[in-house]
Amino acid sequence: MKKRETLVIVIIIIFMAAACKKKSDNPLQSSVNNGFTLKGVFYSTPNGVYVHEGDTLFDFMFYSNSISWNHVEQQWSGAGNSIEFSELIPVSLQNHFPVGNYIYNDNPGAGFFTDGGTARNYSFDADTGYMMDCLHGNVSIVPVGTQFQITYTLHNGDSAVAAGSYTGNLQDISSWIGKMGRSMAPGK
């Protein structure tokens, strides 16, 4: 009987240890909701891409799943939400990717980006919906392990503020767009 009681106690201890074990998921993969808030409403932008010209000039876009790049037409297609900031000139690089804080400024220079915009329920095919250019703003790019955390605030032409973040790895689509010499920005 002692062996049976010991076995039951061991099983109970193993079960309790497994039940009490702290979950240790990577918070970058499980708790981050990439997107932006505009006028009190959250818009999901789970996809992130960038284009670069060497290490000197970068363009970024975060967009919803309902938007895609049309390789034939060399433009965005679909309807949805996106944030774009471009002509960012790095102050610092980590593995050929810009890090640091950047401010919107019409005059290009290190530490600035000169273009940005917010699209909400915007049809890239019909060129309809909310599309507003950035008048003021800031972007922070911080390395987090093997990923980047990008937070941004864009003050748009209609006085609305789009504030959001993206944490993850962005896809380099320079080979898709760079050859055509076109901006990634919607409507450009």
- Write down the domain spans for the chain: 26-180
Contacts of 92 (CB under 8 A, 6+ apart): 98, 99, 100
Of 3-7, 16-20, 80-84, 179-183, where does the model show the most confidence?
Answer: 80-84
- Which has the closest alpha carbon to 118: 64, 162, 178, 57? 162
Alpha carbon distance 119, 61 (integer Å): 11
Assign 109 to helix, strand or coil.
Answer: coil
Q: Tell me the one-letter amino acid at 119.
A: A
Using an 8 Å Cβ cutoff, are 89 and 57 in contact?
A: yes
Token pair, residue 102, equals 């950047």
CA distance 77 to 184: 12
**Which of 72, 66, 172 has the alpha carbon at shortest distance from 123?**
66
Task: Look at residue 32 in the predicted model and tell me its pLDDT.
Answer: 60
Going by C-alpha positions, the residue among 46, 55, 75 that lies closest to residue 176 is: 75
Indicate whether this model's pTM tops 0.95.
no
Average pLDDT taken over every residue of the chain: 82
pLDDT band, residue 75 (cuts 50/70/90):
confident
Residue 73 has pLDDT above 60, yes or no: yes
pLDDT of 71 strictly over 60: yes
* Strand, helix or coil for residue 30: helix
For the residues 136-143, what does the mean pLDDT come to? Answer: 97
CB atoms within 10 A of CB 138: 15
What's at 154, amino acid-wise? L
Question: Pick from 25, 28, 44: which is nearest to 36 by CA?
Answer: 44
In the chain, % of residues over pLDDT 70: 77
